[in-house]
Each structure stands twice: as structure tokens, then as C-alpha cells.
Amino acid sequence: AQRVTQPEKLLSVFKGAPVELKCNYSYSGSPELFWYVQYSRQRLQLLLRHISRESIKGFTADLNKGETSFHLKKPFAQEEDSAMYYCALRGRDDKIIFGKGTRLHILP
Amino acid sequence: EPEVTQTPSHQVTQMGQEVILRCVPISNHLYFYWYRQILGQKVEFLVSFYNNEISEKSEIFDDQFSVERPDGSNFTLKIRSTKLEDSAMYFCASGWNSPLHFGNGTRLTVT
């Protein structure tokens, strides 16, 4: 079964501290993995995708096929990083499956 | 950068009424989707649309829901007889060869 698991509903991190948002997936085959971010009252935005290996707003994520994980990381949290983060998987049928989301709260 | 636009941004309706949520996807995209997000819950897939027909729908997308692409630019979601539990944020998305581009969403409040 296709599934995306984000084990943390809420993650509170002090400004300047490292951030890691966990994402594990279940999929038979080679999925595409994404991170989407939703700032307060705004649309979902693509943060990054594993194919491009870009670093956006200081965030990176590495696809680990052995651990079926795609954790989102940032070395130094900033207050503007406070948002809802969704890990997502795109399978063969083109459907996007979202995790339940993790609310990242950056403490001053 | 082109955007997916959704109207209205907020719709309030009475239970039992019909609502139509409108979306204008990005023009060269071929796949269209509706997702919804009930307050405090995860984003849920409703339906995908390709080549003028539904390609997949979730168990949420029952007979009360329908989608249309009436004129080649708009993509609408109709809820025939709204229920209280239909209150949610509804997101339209379009894509072509991924990733998806999402609209700002329409907040539907059923009273």
C-alpha cells in the first residue's frame, strides 16, 4: 500500500537550532518524493523534490531507499520557517499522497 | 510564474444547498485535482481528472460530488447537497509531469 508517514504532528525548535522533519514512505517501486510547505493562510507550495536535489530556503532532503525515508533538514532554523510541512509521494498513477503534516514552530 | 487561481476564496452556504467551487488551472497542464483539508486534519485527495474524464476518485468523492471542465479553462467542483462535514478548505491543483501547482484554496463553511 502507498503510504506517507510523518510521525510528528508538532515540532518546536529554537531559532538557530537544527531542524529535522521526519518522513517515511511505503511504496513498491520508485516513487517521487516531495516536500510541500503551507505558511499561515497561504497556498501549499512546493519546497523541494528529491529529483532536483536543490536546496531551497536552506532546506535539504535526501531520499534514503534503504530506510524508505525522505527527512527534511535545515542546519539553522529561522523564525520564518514556522509553517505546516507536508511530505508527499507521487506514484505511477500520478496521484499525490500526502502525509498528515508536521507543524514546525520556531521558538525565539 | 503562472498560478492556479481559485474562486471564491471563502464560500458560506447552508446545509443542503449546492455549491460550485471554481478553479482555473495552469494553461498547459493536463492533470487536474481537487484536494480538501478539514480544519486540523491532513490534506485529502478527492479526485483527479485527465483527458476530460475522472481518472481516479477517493471514497470521499461520493455521488454528492462532481467535477467538470466546462470550457477548456475552468475546472469546477460541485457539491450537490452540502453537509456540515463538507466544511473544509478545498484546493485545486494542476500538473503536468509533476510537481503539482496548488491554488490558494476556497474555504467552504456549511452552516
Q: How many helices (H) and strands (E) does chain B have?
A: 0, 11
Per DSSP, A80 falls in state G
User: Which has the minimum average pLDDT: A40-44, B24-28, B77-81, B92-96?
Assistant: A40-44
Contact A45 B102 (CB under 8 A): yes
Q: How confident is the model at residue A93 (pLDDT cuts 50, 70, 90)?
A: low
Q: How confident is the model at residue A81 (pLDDT cuts 50, 70, 90)?
A: very high
Residue A14 to chain B, least CA–CA distance (Å): 24
CA B30/CA A49 separation, integer angstroms: 20
The residues, ordered by sequence, that sit 6+ positions from B12 with a Cβ below 8 Å of its Cβ are: B109, B111
What distance lies between CA B84 and its chain's CA centroid? 17
Q: Which of B43, B56, B91 sits opposite A95 (nearest CB)?
A: B56
The distance between the two most distant Cα atoms of chain B, rounded to a whole number of Å, is: 39
Q: Which residue has the higher pLDDT, B11 or A91?
A: B11
Ranked by mean pLDDT, the top range of A11-15, B24-28, B90-94, B102-106 is A11-15
Cα within 13 Å of Cα(B41), Cβ side? 14
CA A74/CA A76 separation, integer angstroms: 6
Answer for the pair A96, A89: CB distance below 8 angstroms, yes or no: yes
pLDDT over 60 (residue B98): no
Q: In what order do the strands lie in the sheet with A19-21?
A: A19-21, A72-74, A60-61
Q: Tell me: the pLDDT tens digits for A62-75?
A: 899 899 999 999 99
The residues, ordered by sequence, that sit 6+ positions from A100 with a Cβ below 8 Å of its Cβ are: A6, A9, B41, B42
**Per-residue pLDDT, A25:** 95
For B31, nearest residue in chain A (alpha carbons): A94
The enclosing H or E element of A9 equals: none
Residue A93 to chain B, least CA–CA distance (Å): 9
pLDDT over 60 (residue A61): yes
pLDDT over 70 (residue B97): no
Answer for the pair B75, B93: CB distance below 8 angstroms, yes or no: no
User: Which has the minimum average pLDDT: A7-11, A91-95, B28-32, B50-54?
Assistant: A91-95
Take residue A35 and report the three cell numbers written for it. Answer: 516536500
CA B40/CA A10 separation, integer angstroms: 12
Q: How confident is the model at residue A52 (pLDDT cuts 50, 70, 90)?
A: confident
Is the minimum CB–CB distance between A30 and chain B shorter than 8 Å?
A: no
Per DSSP, A84 falls in state E
Q: Enumerate the residues of chain B whose CB falls inside 8 A of the CB of residue A46.
A: 99-101
Q: Tell me: the pLDDT tens digits for B32-75?
A: 999 998 886 778 889 989 888 998 888 999 999 999 998 878 99
Take residue A44 and report the three cell numbers written for it. Answer: 501549499
**Per-residue pLDDT, A32:** 87
Q: How confident is the model at residue A50 (pLDDT cuts 50, 70, 90)?
A: confident
Cα within 13 Å of Cα(A23), Cβ side? 30
User: Which has the minimum average pLDDT: A18-22, A36-40, A102-106, B65-69?
Assistant: A36-40
